[in-house]
Amino acid sequence: MFIILAIIIGGVMFWLQSYTNHGQKLELPDYIGTSFTEATEDAEDKSFVLIVNDSIHVVGKPGGEILDQNPKPYSKVKENRKIYVTISKYNADVLDLNNLPALYGMDYESKKRELSYLDIESKIKGYVYDPGEPDHILEVWYNGKRIISPSGNAKNVNIEKGGELQFVLSKREGGQTEIPDLKCKTLNIAKFILDNNKLKLGSVLEEGEITNPETAYIINQNPGYNINSTIARGAPISVTISQEKPKYCQ
């Protein structure tokens, strides 16, 4: 009787232990930051099932990396539990050029901030002279091609998130302008002409007695005036003045 009773009790205890182990909860691994392929292999070994619930593009992340999981890491779950994960996309999201903020003629720094919110990088490619405000956008380049210019936007251009746009900006220095003819003009008028042409007054040599330089006449200039001759903007022009108006200026 005692032997039979011991066998029965032992059998019941074994059955209870087996039943309890079968339904026991397991700790879920942390798959965040792991590739989906590796995580799937690990999950199968531990009697879990991974299911992709969503995929999103993240700049700088390789495709197929697990970004989030549900249930969360280290949760207690049963065998064969389905684990829903969000992974990074293999291909970057793109934006149509025409859906970007207006860029041509706009202030570079303000547009750089706007583009950063769209995960688009900005870099200065160079500067060219423009009579308008400095540091304004004159051209935009992408992957070695000009996509925005004074003539308009290129067609059928998509910009990848995480991509880089290069900008050509305006500057007031540089560029060429025609050399003005200053001879026979008063110094006061010559200063006005030089200023309008973005040029500077160089040295002023005096010939004879000068009682009022502003009303004195220019009798010579260097560099001299020639039709269609040009000079860099910002360059100086030196003059020689005389208080008396030369006869050839009559």
Q: Tell the burial category of 219 from Cβ atoms under 10 Å away from its Cβ (0-12, 13-18, 19+).
A: buried
**Domain boundary pick from 38, 53, 88:** 88
SS3 for 147-207 is: EEECCEECCCCEEECCCEEEEEEEECCCCEEECCCCCCCEHHHHHHHHHHCCCEEEEEEEE
pTM (2 decimals)?
0.55
Contact of 162 with 92, CB cutoff 8 Å? yes
pLDDT of the chain along its 250 residues, tens only?
656 655 656 554 544 444 444 556 888 899 999 999 999 999 898 889 999 999 888 887 888 999 999 999 999 988 889 999 999 988 888 899 999 999 999 999 999 999 999 999 999 999 988 878 899 999 999 999 999 999 899 999 999 988 999 999 998 777 788 999 999 999 999 999 999 888 999 999 999 999 999 999 999 999 999 888 899 888 899 999 999 999 888 7
Please count the other Cβ atoms lying within 10 Å of the Cβ belonging to residue 114: 15
Q: How many domains does the chain have?
A: 3
The domain that holds 164 is classified in CATH as 3.30.10.20
Query: Do 181 and 157 lie in a common domain?
Result: no
In a domain, 19, yes or no: no
Contact of 166 with 141, CB cutoff 8 Å? yes
**Which residue stretches of the chain are H helix?**
2-22, 36-45, 108-117, 187-196
In a domain, 183, yes or no: yes
Contact of 57 with 90, CB cutoff 8 Å? no
Query: Do 99 and 158 lie in a common domain?
Result: yes
Q: Which domain holds residue 180?
A: 176-249
